[in-house]
Amino acid sequence: DGGITQSPKYLFRKEGQNVTLSCEQNLNHDAMYWYRQDPGQGLRLIYYSQIVNDFQKGDIAEGYSVSREKKESFPLTVTSAQKNPTAFYLCASSTTGRGYQPQHFGDGTRLSIL
Amino acid sequence: GESVGLHLPTLSVQEGDNSIINCAYSNSASDYFIWYKQESGKGPQFIIDIRSNMDKRQGQRVTVLLNKTVKHLSLQIAATQPGDSAVYFCAETHHNYGQNFVFGPGTRLSVLP
């Protein structure tokens, strides 16, 4: 089945530690996205990538980094500079081009602080 | 579905009744809208979308209504079932904005037996 796989489902971070969240898709989508979801708020865009080897900052990129070395993979690193990393992180993908393209989501990674 | 801080607005309906979930969107230039369903601990699932050249679109047991005059979107679920219990949120964008959607905070739908 085609879809988006995020791992791990739960992740714990220690003080001063960087952690990496995995996102893989087999939908052959060009675009991929990372969102942060906090209780009572809409999804906020962290980073997005429209094509391999290129990515753009979203609204809340500080304290995060990404790479896009392969079309199917878009890992997110939460660095120690992110002082409030506890949240539910969602990865999405979509086709690109003019017009109307819905985003499809993975099942998320919940990050907590130890 | 207005944001109320940490607590989402909740809609409770009896099983078998119809549900109406509302969303006030922010940008009058937005021309594409999506409704997502998110179950606890899972990612959002696409339900239905609508373009601004339409004011109504129907899917299986769901209908989306768009009122551009007052920037309002609603999702109607017919014959609500226990499996419909989830958080529902809307997303808006303009086709020239690439894939940059603005997402609402959502409404929690609780289906009572």
Contact: A40, B43; criterion CB under 8 Å = no
Answer whether residue A100 shows pLDDT above 90: no
CA distance A114 to B70: 46
> Residue B4: pLDDT band by 50, 70, 90 thresholds?
very low
Please report the pLDDT score of residue B6 as a whole number. Answer: 53
Contact: B95, A33; criterion CB under 8 Å = no
Length in residues, chain A: 114
CA dist list (Å): A24 to A9, A10, A58: 13, 16, 20
- pLDDT tens by residue, A30-80: 999 999 999 888 999 999 999 999 999 999 999 999 999 999 999 999 999
Average pLDDT, chain B: 91
Please report the pLDDT score of residue B2 as a whole number. Answer: 33
Identify the residue whose tokens are 């499809």.
A104
Decide: residue A109, CB within 10 A, 0-12 exposed, 13-18 middle, 19+ buried.
buried
**A108 C-beta neighbours (distance < 10 Å), count:** 22
Please report the pLDDT score of residue B95 as a whole number. Answer: 76
- pLDDT tens by residue, B62-95: 999 999 999 999 999 999 999 999 999 999 998 7
Please report the pLDDT score of residue B55 as a whole number. Answer: 97
CA distance A109 to B9: 24
Answer whether residue A15 shows pLDDT above 90: no
- Classified as helix, coil or strand, B109 is strand
Count of CB contacts below 8 A, A vs B? 61
> Residue A1: pLDDT band by 50, 70, 90 thresholds?
low
Please report the pLDDT score of residue B3 as a whole number. Answer: 34
Whether chain B has a CB inside 8 Å of the CB on A97: the answer is no
Contact: A41, B105; criterion CB under 8 Å = yes
Give the dihedral sign, CA B56/B57/B58/B62: negative
